[in-house]
Amino acid sequence: DTAVSQTPKYLVTQMGNDKSIKCEQNLGHDTMYWYKQDSKKFLKIMFSYNNKELIINETVPNRFSPKSPDKAHLNLHINSLELGDSAVYFCASSQEMGVGVFYNEQFFGPGTRLTVL
Amino acid sequence: QKEVEQNSGPLSVPEGAIASLNCTYSDRVSQSFFWYRQYSGKSPELIMSIYSNGDKEDGRFTAQLNKASQYVSLLIRDSQPSDSATYLCAITLRGFQKLVFGTGTRLLVSP
């Protein structure tokens, strides 16, 4: 009964390769996110999708492309991987803010540790 | 100025003591405030949320919010070695759904 799951947990790859990370949530939430946590443990948002629509796109290289096939899934595809992409990537989800929901409590997946060699 | 600032620590307290973690934020329209706990190699786990001025208590945890001073804190009473982790302060701005995190404070509770 995992709430937010990600695959793979670890990803080791060479520079220049293309890779994908998958995320699924079974909480019935409308909004999903991708965060990057660097080596200094700073956690920063990359993207947010609400009901399959992109609503937040921070300053992220266009080598990173999120895709949301439905509101329970948000995948992250990375082209031409670089050394600086090495980090832990977290997926998260929350209910959509709106009628009856005023607060943005986000729940995180277990993370994917990406190492680019 | 960073949007959310925390002392990186480590903050060392003996078992049974009160641990006090502090966070300041720069944007006055910040609406929601959260404390996440992150164990090494694990994902952030939401432990407290607070939205209005004052104190909010949940078990051994108390969150305190002072919007005038742009300050939010987390008190952990009767600290246990299992509380040793990094504590992340996060805020959201009115109308926005993104969390802005501080860099976290590492807490070490010694037996």
pLDDT category at B95 given cuts 50, 70, 90 is low
CB–CB contacts below 8 A, A to B: 56
Nearest residue in chain B measured CA to CA from A90: B43
Residues B3-31 have a mean pLDDT of 91
Structure confidence at residue A100 (pLDDT): 53
| Among A104, A86, A108, CA closest to A95 | A104
Give pLDDT < 70 ranges for chain A: 1, 97-103
| The predicted structure's pLDDT at residue A57 | 79
B89 neighbors B34 (Cβ within 8 angstroms): yes
Residue A59: the pLDDT is 79
What distances in angstroms separate CA B36 from CA A61, A62, B89, one per listed residue?
27, 29, 6
CA distance A28 to A74: 13
Contact, B33 vs B87, CB < 8 A? no
- Contacting residues for B85 by C-beta, under 8 A, at least 6 apart: B37, B38, B39, B40, B106, B107
Q: Taking a contact as any Cβ pair under 8 Å apart, which residues of chain A between 11 and 70 contact chain B?
A: 31, 33, 40-45, 48, 50, 55-56, 58
Q: Which of the four pLDDT bands, split at 50, 70 and 90, describes residue B3?
A: confident
Read off the pLDDT of each residue in B89-98 and give the average, rounded to a whole number.
Answer: 78
